[in-house]
Every structure is written in C-alpha cells, then in structure tokens.
Amino acid sequence: MLRVLSRSIRSSHLLRRSTEAVCVSSTRNLNLLEYQSKELLRECGVSVQNFAIVDDLTKTNSALEKLHEGEYVIKAQVLAGGRGKGWFDNGFKGGVHLTRDRNAVSNYVKNMLGHRLITKQTSKEGIPVQKIMIAESVDIVRETYVCILMDREYNGPVLIASPAGGMDIETVAEKNPEQIKTVPLDIYYGIDDEIAKDVSVFLGFSDPDILKKAMYELKNLWKLFVDIDALQVEINPFVETKDKQVIAVDAKIAFDDNAQFRQQNLFALEDVSEKDPREVDASRFNLNYIGMDGNIGCLVNGAGLAMATMDIIKLNGGSPANFLDVGGNVREDQVFQAFRILSEDPKVKVIFVNVFGGIVNCATIAKGIITASRNLGLQIPLIVRLEGTNVTEAKKVLADSGLPILTANNLDEAAKKAVKSVKA
C-alpha cells in the first residue's frame, strides 16, 4: 500500500498493486463475513463495538439483551459491498439500518433475514441473508485509517496510517499525500512502543489517555496480523469516540492461503454458500476457477497465461466460459478434475487446453487429457496447444491416442481453431 511522506504519492498505486497481487496469485481466497472479522479482532484484544448475531427471528430479543440501550446498527451479513444502498427480493430497501427504537429492530431483522439482498456487487438474483449483525452504534468524534500489510517492495510488512479515515485511502494519497504515513516494520519486532506512539500522534490522538489507548490498539493489530498469518489487516475507520475510546469500526482482512495448513480452524470458518459451486469444487483440488458467460472452456497453467488465453479468444471473436488455472505443479489427477468441471458446464461447447511446460511436464498433461477424455466420454471438440518441457513426447502421446484431438503449434492458431469449432 503506501509509504513515508516523501513516497506517499506513489503509495496509492502500491496499495492497488498489493491488493491485486493477493487476488491473482492465490489459488483461493478466504473471505469472512464482517462479524467473523470483528470476532478475530476482539480475540486479539482489539476494541470493537459490542454486537450480537441473529440467524433466527426468534433470537432477536435475546440478542438485544446482550447490548446496551441506545442506538442500534442492523447489518445484513453477506460477502458483497454496497449493502446500505441495496434492496431485497421482498421489496425492502437497505441492508444496513440505524435506529434508536428497540422495538423496530425485530421488524428490520424480519425484512432482511432469509431474503435475498441485491447490491451493485451481486448478481441480479442477489445473495440470501442467513445472518444479521446487531451492533451498538458508536458515537464518533474522529475517523482515522490504519493498515498493516505485506509489501513486496519492502520485502516485509508495513504500517500505513492516515488521519483522514472513513474514505477511499487511494483518493487521500492522490489528493493529500501529506496525510499518508508509511512505516516499514521488522517482522521479528513488529510495532513497538516507539512506532505505536509516533503513528498515534500522527493520527491525531493527542489526549494522553486516548494516545495510550491508540498505542495499545496498534500493538494488538500487529499481534492479530502475525497470529492469523494475514497479508493485510485494514481498519477504516479507526475511530475516537465521545467517551474517549479507540475502536476499530470496520475491518478488511486478507489471508495468506499458503498458511492454511497451520490455520485450519480459521479457514474452517469460511462460508462457501455464497460462492459458485464450481469454484468451491475446483478449490478442493487446488485449482483456481472463475466462471464466465462464454462457451469456450479454458484449461491453462498460470494466471498470466490464462488471462492471455482469454484475451486471444476474444480477439478471434470467441467468448471464454471460464478462467481455470491448474498451476505450475499440476498432476494427472488434477487434469482429470479440471476436465470434469469444464465438461459439467452445459454452456461449454469446446475445451481449449493451453499449457506452457516450464515446471510442469507436458507429457503429464497429455496423459491427463487422454485419461480424462476417455473416462468422461468427452463429446465436445478438444483443442490442445502444448509448449515446453517434453513437448515432443507429449505431442506423440496425443497423436497415438486415437482420440479426435485438434492440436496447434501456437496460441493464435489454437484460438482460431477453438472459435471455429464453436461455430461449426
């Protein structure tokens, strides 16, 4: 994300690039609901507002008993932005509501729970709301921004802070770069008292008692970052309240999928009900799948090559049905599973395999293709372009298989054959 004052203009691009790296390079992305992120914060000693979760309308009153009298925030728990401006399939508007009327809370829950919420980030069918978070409203005096993330340019974690919270941090970096402070962190020492105080003062926590609380919160954010193997922990806004508390109101957490083996309890929290079932299916075999609207199924190794493959299909007048990256160390059984997922999609009229064998052995891919084609009884055209390690042997394996496989010597030729096969 961002850097010290002299580098802060550049930092918005860095933030965007770091976020994109998380999305593209991981084989899967763990997404938690808002209340789950708040629970993680609370477990590590980070202050959040009191809240309760309702998954059954009859539990609303018992949930309210856990909260203090005052103003309540009622929020639908879905993995989509724009909830406040969204609408439900029953005509009810807004997935986020604020009220001082305790009796009105049940009505809000009734209109949201079990219904589908449509926002600018969902499909037109929307997402079913299975949980509602009821939280105590926070009386905010000031909003700030803090984020800890792994930054490749610094070869480690950095702490980014701004007194301009509650808004798009990239806009702040572009228009008011002096309001961005970035501090490289030592992975072994993290945020000590000196760093915590320096950043807290920069954020504007001047009252001695509040300053001490802000320092405490920052150090606990570092503890969370390390404990859960996070790639990013972003708090926006990080607020000062009228009763002189420092609270993390909203959090976005990105997780390191490579740490799943030691964070099994954390990854078990993921709610896959909102995901494309094909994406969930693919992730079980360490395949990265994203469904699209076209009719040419793509099986490719490497995210960059997969994106180039989709581009050249479009360039030749075709339409990709998916993004499917089998990775650099693909095994024969993974090739079979990839073929199965593609062949089960009724929209797919052609399968296009484009593999560059650097680490992966092209002969392994070829054997996997043949096994999958035979065992699945593949009835649609199959175009294969292989290049790299053992490609000569791989081409011979395909030629000797007796299967009606169309091969190509380059990417453009393969794409043309795939598009032509759809139109045939």
Q: Is 82 annotated in some ligand binding site?
A: yes
Is 329 flagged in the annotation as binding?
no
Write phi, then psi, for 52 (nearest 5 degrees). -140, 150
Q: 236: annotated binding-site residue?
A: yes
Is 288 annotated among the ligand-binding residues? no
Give long-range contacts, CB 8 A cutoff, 24+ apart: 153-159.
153/14, 154/184, 156/184, 156/185, 156/186, 156/187, 157/184, 157/185, 157/187, 157/190, 157/225, 158/1, 158/2, 158/3, 158/182, 158/183, 158/184, 158/185, 159/183, 159/185, 159/191, 159/195, 159/199, 159/218
At 401, give phi and psi (nearest 5°).
-75, -25
CA distance 352 to 331: 18
Given the residues 34, 217, 234, 279, select the one marked as catalytic. Answer: 234
Q: Does the annotation list 118 as a binding residue?
A: no
**Beta-ladder partners of 29:** none
Measured torsion, CA atoms of residues 38, 39, 41, 43, in degrees rounded to the nearest 10: 160
Q: Is 138 annotated as a binding residue?
A: yes
Encoding tokens for residue 13?
Answer: 């691009």
Start-to-end C-alpha separation, the chain? 49
Copy the structure tokens of residue 89.
Answer: 């399939």
Q: Of 35, 108, 145, 289, which one is the catalytic site residue?
A: 145
Q: Would you call 216 a catalytic residue per the annotation?
A: no
Please tell me whether 250 is known to bind a ligand. Answer: yes
Residue 34: active-site member: no
Q: Is 45 among the annotated ligand-binding positions?
A: no
The answer on whether 301 is annotated among ligand-binding residues is: yes
Binding positions: 49, 82-84, 138, 236, 250, 301, 358-360
Annotated binding residues for substrate: 301, 358-360
**Active-site annotation, residues:** 145, 234
